[in-house]
Structure 1
């Protein structure tokens, strides 16, 4: 778990518990949908993730894959008071048992089974057991032993179930069934069809069975199936507790005691769920967070401030980019060619604090729904000034995270696909923001004649026309390399368009097109004279040696001599990796793996995100897979990775997936040139006995030679930095953890011209 300060005190603090200590999940906690008091805490479900809050405190504790949960995207969490544990059911039917002592047990058997329809509809508790209503019957989970004990399949899709007295009652699309808890419920013949009433959910309160339907709450006889309407109305939240049944909707709150006495409170509210801890009522209020209320007589009064952990506003991380001062910009959208419509999402992480850019009121100011953000960028001369592109609308301008202006077809150099449509602004499709060294803002304007646009610092616009590319729909990323060449990816192949890459060089003369050079290539020929065409070309990056890496659905390709791109004999190299099996054979690096994004770290290593294969870290020479992270073997949230960005100062690798954002603390940072003692930092220092990680030395120059010595000069470890970082596992050449003492770090740069010395203490 992690501790996080609440957003109303505008700060964040994380304390790791040691599980997967190199990972951190940045989950959204802005849509509070359900909560449950347990063990003196309030467990709150937000955006499919859990945090706990202790009333009266100023921090929350978050749970994620990085803290031990087996998955992400929670559909249900139901508390078993007898065993003091929650059954967590994920949207993919994986399950965990989470104890109030923070113990976690994964139960993947149902998810991994060959059951055809695994849809989970409801979860209820009785004694030490959990009963999971599914489209394939009822699953029984022994919460004490943390294991499945039975599956009751009587030929019906079970929408909800409940145990009352000696009966188990199941709600199906064909009515209500029951069975004897002490009988053989594995035999479908022992399930009795009581009636054909169509309800939504069953509850037990005060030893009696109740059902919820669209028109009210019903009392049900669990033996005969007879029902009678208890409350008339459409109710959206309901939860039974020991001495009160909480029922309500947006206009009314009803509290029923064990004797059936009903107390009604009429008041407008935005509650999605309401719980009771024996003293206060806790409301999950969607975007307004978790909040306590005191209900006495006819009054309903707030008893706490709204609790909204500082976090991303949504689990959308399509686009990631670090600014020069290591602030992370996040855009949560898509190119929209699959007709997805994500809310306009622009977020920034700065020193642990999230800022979520304005969304409200943009429609009222522009008459365009703000959605599908494709890229975000910070003004290099003003860190409070940002722009965002969108798959429809145009170019959005923000200052201090507040909306300023929409640049669209009628007030800028941008064009719309459908100028004669009733809503032409929706067809101004933009992407690929980047600044050049002169402060010009470049972007892509898809599906129109002139697809490349630039906004000058004075606010004027210019377009660049490429005759064979007019109308291309999915130009995505722009990279301006160290030579000034612009590399632009076109995402996908259609019946009329090709996935490929555009190289454009304007000779640093923005207004003189006579010396411009451009070439679009959709067919690559490698060093073995094998030709490829692609369904997708996703991304492009330049490494520290000036080579251009191109991400395609058939793996990565490299331009070792990028200027050759404009020549007829250009070679797109596929790195060959020796098999090392006694033969001379080699395989192309990640051949056939759909590479969706590329990032280069401070050590010139390549981070590849993929579609369905997780994340690869490949050594600088391309010969070694340093890491292959998947959702199955690591806290990576999903194997579908959209974007990767690296914090050069800390080495944290941020990975945007279709399930949200996660970071991995890697062992490479940006090198600092020249090597100077004042830049070198060693941590932790001192190294205490409980520390189990690796010592880090940051602030080094590229490929520094590093030695760790005792005060007497004995070398206990040596090696090279990865970028600007050297890590050491605190063990000597014989694999033994070093003893208590003072140690020196002695570093020199590649040429041996500059050096630095630092010291640290180990306490064993």
Structure 2
């Protein structure tokens, strides 16, 4: 009955907001390896990763994910608690936000009372612990204790229990017999008060049991255990502390599950019975090489949260053999660079600083998505390559990728196995040279790109010959001198962000000090850059480049967007880049993305532009930039952050992959590249089953020529929908929309009704060649 009442009561309180479910068009590719907390229900283990949740059914072994795709905020999770009585999962965050997931409900409820409270400093709002008792939850925070009514889904009182009502950090609370206990940090000790008191908001109601720093207090089978920051474990007996043991490491997590009392440290999980006898010590496993974070017990098994292996499951009678449990995903959430190819995505975790320093040196692995499966290459398998960053995939072999290292050279990966680390000993790559430190070696490779002939071009920072070419077929290297443009090889140019190659063989390169650099050696060496105000550059620091379908170079800088329209005469004439002028909300001329820090620019199959902006999310512009089709932010999409780091488009599927500093996502309604004919044209899903929401997820056609007419009819020939390239613009409300080599149908007919079950004919006509093709589509409703 309580759960039914909850659903009715939700709409009655203004402090509750329902988050949107984005699963129709978006995919989340979060890392679930770093576990912050665990909880349990009657048949599930709940695990909180950095900013997403997964559940593990202890009976069916099924794993389900809950992330920003389902409405979570994407903020950093600090603690979770599952209420068996109310069927609620409570999620607490570092910033004071609380979210509630109700069993069987789609939407996530957002509670912003603490987050929005102006009297609490932003740094003191962290949610530390949830303690459920008699229908309410006592929320331990960095400012005190807040009380939340689970039946009514609303806040009650807040207890500031420091001296004279000061805000103090409370790590955990528990209730036993007549008392509520609070473990306080920062020297504020262990406190208690009568739980039935009507005046707990008065700090004088709270008496001190012992001083010092306490990290936990937990009721367990008619006992109360308290743990100090100095690793000492006590039983509270008649208001005094009785020391039981001293552990060998700081305590990270304490729980009471069934008959067992669990204490987690970095390398151990201790399981005690009611008399505090040690039943099991699950300890650090050298093969896994991880640290523990939390633990829960369920039905004879211990579920241990770790920093980089998700959940480790071990039998209570064992504690040695571990089963790794977590959803598929990349190694980390903070991607540095991504690169998509046909049904593949490569991810690195770099990095180098904004000023192109390889500091700190990071030894991190690589993640590779193939179809729906992730392959993670660990850091100990990348041949010692550090600060792995930009990725180039061989266009003639999707299983061969080259990963730039901003200190150690260039890493070749074949069939997910690192095979060669190219450096100055086995390739044409060169280290920078510091006269005062002749033994110092640093090969700072960043931007890389394959040309149409399968030759790889790379850029190395702080050397005289930064541009290198490598032919994987012949093994030949070639270097190209830039000293005519950059006389000071070591200090003149610190690094290169991007490289694009046009149909004339010109290499367009983004520099830090030298702006947009053009290089062509077809008829002698031509080398030139645009980097000053006279060139109309908004900043010499170029962060991203994109070559569009009209052979124009889109230039992203640290403070704005520019376009080079006249690429063919770049070396022969005095050319400039241009800003894009649009009309703002008031109808006044304004510069598009004025002074914004552009992180990446990508061009899709319809020549539309996807532009990532640091702090402002992701923009989707029309080919000329005059129309903003979408502007995705944390507020209107499942992006966990407005800091977009990198973007990449799979031209085969049309998926747009978006890397933020808090996770990786894919938007599934991007356009794909056009084809020469209908040989590769197909429609999916087919058949369309009753559980497929056509209006939200759209029926998709791929593999279309550039100039096409599409008619959808029923089996009797009645017209259902029609569209033609360059006539019906996307996102304008038409039922059938064409974008590049893709088309999207919402399942409705000309009368705006969802079509009935039956067979439908998709008739395609190439308006240039007059070639035709008919596809059959089955709809089951």
Quote the residue 1:316 is aligned against.
Answer: 334
Whole-angstrom CA distance in 1 between matches of 2:71 and 2:713 = 37
Kept in 1, the 8 Å contact 2:538–2:561? The answer is no
Of 552, 560, 567 in structure 2, the residue corresponding to residue 562 of structure 1 is: 567
Quote the residue 1:148 is aligned against.
Answer: 155
SS of the aligned residue for 2:419 comes to: strand
Kept in 2, the 8 Å contact 1:80–1:125? The answer is no
Whole-angstrom CA distance in 2 between matches of 1:19 and 1:64 = 10
Q: What is the CA distance between 1:327 and its match in structure 2?
A: 1.6
SS of the aligned residue for 2:569 comes to: helix
Cα deviation, 1:387-444, whole Å, max 9, x if unaligned, reads 2112222222233323333223444333333557889666321111222234332211
Cα deviation, 1:622-657, whole Å, max 9, x if unaligned, reads 232111110111111211111111111221110011
Quote the residue 1:653 is aligned against.
Answer: 656
Kept in 1, the 8 Å contact 2:349–2:366? The answer is yes
Quote the residue 1:8 is aligned against.
Answer: none
Alignment of 1:549-628 (within 5 A): 549-578=554-583, 585-628=588-631
Q: Does 1:136 align with 2:143?
A: yes
Q: Does 1:30 align with 2:38?
A: no
Whole-angstrom CA distance in 2 between matches of 1:310 and 1:131 = 34
Q: What is the CA distance between 1:564 and its match in structure 2?
A: 3.0
Quote the residue 1:210 is aligned against.
Answer: 225
Quote the residue 2:89 is aligned against.
Answer: 86
Cα deviation, 1:132-174, whole Å, max 9, x if unaligned, reads 3333222323333333323222314214131323333331312
Q: What is the CA distance between 1:659 and its match in structure 2?
A: 0.8
Kept in 2, the 8 Å contact 1:76–1:123? The answer is yes
Of 111, 116, 132 in structure 2, the residue corresponding to residue 112 of structure 1 is: 116
Quote the residue 2:128 is aligned against.
Answer: 122
Q: What is the CA distance between 1:486 and its match in structure 2?
A: 0.5
Quote the residue 1:228 is aligned against.
Answer: 242
SS of the aligned residue for 1:306 comes to: strand
Kept in 2, the 8 Å contact 1:392–1:430? The answer is yes
Counting matched residue pairs gives 719
Quote the residue 2:531 is aligned against.
Answer: 522
Alignment of 1:482-493 (within 5 A): 482-491=503-512
Q: Does 1:630 align with 2:633?
A: yes
Which ranges of structure 1 fall in alignment gaps of 5 or more residues?
A: 1-16, 492-496, 510-514
SS of the aligned residue for 2:420 comes to: strand
Kept in 2, the 8 Å contact 1:210–1:217? The answer is no
Quote the residue 2:475 is aligned against.
Answer: 459
Whole-angstrom CA distance in 2 between matches of 1:253 and 1:346 = 30
Kept in 1, the 8 Å contact 2:300–2:316? The answer is no
Whole-angstrom CA distance in 1 between matches of 2:436 and 2:33 = 36
Whole-angstrom CA distance in 2 between matches of 1:603 and 1:641 = 22
Kept in 2, the 8 Å contact 1:441–1:454? The answer is yes
Kept in 1, the 8 Å contact 2:234–2:245? The answer is no
Quote the residue 1:69 is aligned against.
Answer: 72
Of 162, 181, 193 in structure 2, the residue corresponding to residue 169 of structure 1 is: 181
Kept in 2, the 8 Å contact 1:358–1:402? The answer is no
Whole-angstrom CA distance in 1 between matches of 2:151 and 2:28 = 29
Q: Does 1:243 align with 2:243?
A: no
TM-score by length of 2: 0.84
Whole-angstrom CA distance in 1 between matches of 2:688 and 2:21 = 19
SS of the aligned residue for 1:360 comes to: helix
Which ranges of structure 2 fall in alignment gaps of 5 or more residues?
A: 1-19, 286-290, 725-737
Q: 1:712 to 1:85 in 2, by over 3 A?
A: closer
Q: 1:212 to 1:423 in 2, by over 3 A?
A: farther
Cα deviation, 1:246-268, whole Å, max 9, x if unaligned, reads 23557765433334444465865
Whole-angstrom CA distance in 1 between matches of 2:185 and 2:264 = 24
Of 729, 748, 754 in structure 1, the residue corresponding to residue 771 of structure 2 is: 754
Alignment of 1:432-511 (within 5 A): 432-457=447-472, 458-467=474-483, 468-469=485-486, 470-471=489-490, 472-491=493-512, 497-498=513-514, 500-507=515-522
Cα deviation, 1:515-566, whole Å, max 9, x if unaligned, reads 011111112668xxxx343164211111122221111234322222212332
Q: What is the CA distance between 1:285 and its match in structure 2?
A: 4.4
Kept in 2, the 8 Å contact 1:347–1:355? The answer is yes
Q: Does 1:39 align with 2:42?
A: yes
Alignment of 1:43-58 (within 5 A): 43-55=46-58, 57=60
Q: 1:124 to 1:539 in 2, by over 3 A?
A: same
Alignment of 1:306-385 (within 5 A): 306-323=324-341, 325-336=342-353, 337=355, 339-360=359-380, 370-385=385-400
Q: 1:425 to 1:51 in 2, by over 3 A?
A: farther
Q: Mean alpha-carbon deviation: is it higher for 732-741 or for 595-604?
A: 732-741
SS of the aligned residue for 1:707 comes to: strand
Q: Does 1:541 align with 2:552?
A: no
Whole-angstrom CA distance in 2 between matches of 1:424 and 1:489 = 29
SS of the aligned residue for 2:69 comes to: helix
Q: Mean alpha-carbon deviation: is it higher for 657-666 or for 86-95?
A: 86-95
Of 754, 759, 763 in structure 2, the residue corresponding to residue 737 of structure 1 is: 754
Quote the residue 1:400 is aligned against.
Answer: 415
Whole-angstrom CA distance in 2 between matches of 1:21 and 1:82 = 32
Quote the residue 2:296 is aligned against.
Answer: 275
Whole-angstrom CA distance in 2 between matches of 1:195 and 1:30 = 38
SS of the aligned residue for 2:115 comes to: helix
CA-based RMSD? 3.0
Quote the residue 1:727 is aligned against.
Answer: 744
Q: 1:753 to 1:428 in 2, by over 3 A?
A: same
Q: What is the CA distance between 1:603 and its match in structure 2?
A: 1.3
SS of the aligned residue for 2:635 comes to: coil
Kept in 1, the 8 Å contact 2:128–2:139? The answer is yes
